[in-house]
């Protein structure tokens, strides 16, 4: 299955991507995680990307498209993948169409997780991520088993710089201006599936898995 995830920052794309990736045994490709790992490793790409990320802005397309192209061309993506956080602009969506055409493969679905803005703001201030493996948690809605530690690798949980409130508000505005038009883009291509993500993680997962199993693959 080849899938992209759409939705505002904080809608739960990363959390659902992990579940889908395990269930369908396909790699989870997150451009946000790729940038964060570049930042951690001090690469040139990381340095450039951080300037935009810390302000709640999108990293320019010319720094983003090629890393996705390289990644989806790798052998483990042959039978499918889930793209989380890409495309985020119409230009990126058009570039993705070209990449898929070059690889002679087709996208199956664009899964949109809808959550209203006020809920997003509430959520993101409580979000914590594992400093090592990137797994997401929430101090109220999705608590780790041990306070401040990752269930999976036991490393420290941290708040991302871009989850601070003023950055969240800017990220939402960026989302509405640049990314939301993709909903119509994929609707026109008859690839769009929409689920409601404002309830708990488990309810959303149920909706996601039911939408995917009901869809024709
Ligand atoms: P995420 O973890 O998906 O919320 O991404 C965190 C940040 O990384 C975003 O706010 C952007 O600054 C940057 N980013 C991630 N994916 C993209 C993309 N496809 N295009 C541009 N910027 C991106």
Query: Among 161, 165, 158, which residue's Cα sits nearest to residue 122?
Result: 165
Q: What confidence score (pLDDT) does residue 215 get?
A: 66
Question: 162 CB under 6 A from ligand 1?
Answer: yes
Label residue 128 by pLDDT band (50, 70, 90).
very high
Question: 127 CB under 6 A from ligand 1?
Answer: no
Q: What confidence score (pLDDT) does residue 216 get?
A: 55
Task: Write out pLDDT tens, residues 158-182.
Answer: 988 788 888 889 999 999 999 999 9
pTM: 0.85
Task: Write out pLDDT tens, residues 188-205.
Answer: 999 999 999 998 889 999
| d(C-alpha 77, C-alpha 57), whole Å | 28
Task: Write out pLDDT tens, residues 7-62.
Answer: 999 899 999 999 999 999 999 999 999 999 999 999 999 999 999 998 889 999 99
From the CA of 148, how far away is ligand 1's center (Å)? 25
| d(C-alpha 32, C-alpha 10), whole Å | 12
Query: Among 183, 202, 213, 24, which residue's Cα sits nearest to residue 114?
Result: 183
Q: Can you list the domains of the chain with their CATH numbers?
A: 2-115+175-214 (3.40.50.300)
Task: Give the bridge partners for 130, in sequence order.
Answer: 157
């Amino acid at each position: 299955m080849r899938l992209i995830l759409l939705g505002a920052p904080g809608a739960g794309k990363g959390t659902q991507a992990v579940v889908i990736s395990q269930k369908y045994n396909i790699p989870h490709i997150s451009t946000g995680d790729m940038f964060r790992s570049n930042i951690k490793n001090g690469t040139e790409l990381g340095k450039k990307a951080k300037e935009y990320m810390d302000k709640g802005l999108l990293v320019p397309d010319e720094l983003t498209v090629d890393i996705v192209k390289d990644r989806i061309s790798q052998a483990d993506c042959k039978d499918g993948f889930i793209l989380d956080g890409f495309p985020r602009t119409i230009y990126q969506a058009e570039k993705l169409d070209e990449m898929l055409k070059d690889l002679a493969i087709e996208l199956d679905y664009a899964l949109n997780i809808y959550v209203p803005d006020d809920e997003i703001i509430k959520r993101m201030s409580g979000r914590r991520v594992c400093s090592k493996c990137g797994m997401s948690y929430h101090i109220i809605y999705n608590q780790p088993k041990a306070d401040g530690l990752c269930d999976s690798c036991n490393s420290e949980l941290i708040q991302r710089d871009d989850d601070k409130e003023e950055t969240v508000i800017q990220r939402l505005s960026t989302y509405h201006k640049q990314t939301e038009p993709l909903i119509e883009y994929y609707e026109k291509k008859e690839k769009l599936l929409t689920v409601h993500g404002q309830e708990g993680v488990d309810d959303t997962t149920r909706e996601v898995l039911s939408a995917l199993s009901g869809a024709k693959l």
